[in-house]
């Protein structure tokens, strides 16, 4: 079957996504209601090299801490794209309540952007827990991630398990502030757009992404 978090979003994965959304919302409804911050989530960064990033959206700011020690290739790729202003003017183009919000690949005019693919660093010590940021990719192609990322709304432990293509989904950091913004984004109305499902009816724009430090 196709990957649940993919860099396309066409019809072959939409039925799976809708079923997944229904199941996850039922399972995690109480968690979503009770957990509007990251108070219940703990991330350890002791003795690890981290990179702080600020993502400004038209719904508010999201602070991120990227783990260069656990995911050096993915972090370097994200930082390089950030410095090139690749993400500026892109949108969160896929939003599924109770699952994740995905962005980094489409402009406000819904033109898909491209960048070189990277190695899938899924087999590290980071997990797809609530508030973590991971790379989206094409199902069946483990090393197909490029720029699209997603932020987990709940603990999506099944994304840590190797799929039929032999790989899972590489986490490379976590939200440090603005998880309430992420939760607000997850609740916006969605629909279809140019063959893609779960697209916000009104653009959730990433105005800018900036690296705060390299420590």
The pTM of the full predicted model, rounded to 2 decimals, is 0.84
CA dihedral for 204, 190, 18, 93, sign (positive or negative): negative
Phi, psi of 147, deg, nearest 5: -130, -25
Give the torsion through C-alpha atoms of 89, 94, 95, 99, to 10 deg. Answer: -130
**What residues form DSSP beta bridges with 208?**
56
For the chain, 215 residues long, give each residue's pLDDT as a single digit of tens: 234 566 664 433 344 454 455 555 555 544 444 444 454 444 555 678 999 999 999 999 999 999 999 999 999 999 999 999 999 999 999 999 999 999 999 999 999 999 999 999 999 999 999 999 999 999 999 999 999 999 999 999 999 999 999 999 999 999 999 999 999 999 999 999 999 999 999 999 999 999 996 54
Strand partners, 199: 191
Where would I find the H helices in 39-168? 72-83
């Amino acid at each position: 079957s196709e990957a649940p978090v993919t860099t396309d979003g066409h019809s072959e994965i939409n039925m799976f996504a809708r079923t997944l959304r229904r199941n996850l919302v039922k399972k995690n409804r109480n968690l979503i209601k009770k957990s509007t911050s990251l108070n219940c989530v703990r991330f350890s960064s002791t003795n690890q090299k981290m990179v702080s990033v600020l993502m400004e959206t038209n719904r508010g700011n999201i602070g991120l801490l990227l783990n260069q020690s656990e995911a050096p290739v993915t972090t370097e790729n994200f930082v390089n794209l950030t410095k090139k202003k690749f993400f500026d003017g892109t949108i969160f183009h896929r939003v599924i309540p109770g699952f994740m919000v995905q962005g980094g690949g489409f402009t406000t005019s819904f033109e898909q952007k491209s960048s070189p693919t990277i190695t899938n660093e899924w087999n590290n010590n980071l997990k797809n827990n609530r508030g973590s940021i991971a790379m989206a990719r094409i199902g069946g192609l483990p090393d197909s991630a490029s720029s699209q990322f997603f932020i987990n709304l709940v603990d999506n432990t099944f994304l840590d398990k190797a799929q039929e293509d032999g790989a899972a989904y590489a986490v490379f950091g976590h939200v440090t502030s603005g998880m309430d913004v992420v939760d607000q984004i997850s609740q916006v109305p969605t629909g279809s757009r140019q063959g893609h499902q779960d697209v916000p009816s009104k653009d959730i724009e990433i105005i800018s992404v900036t690296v705060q430090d390299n420590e």
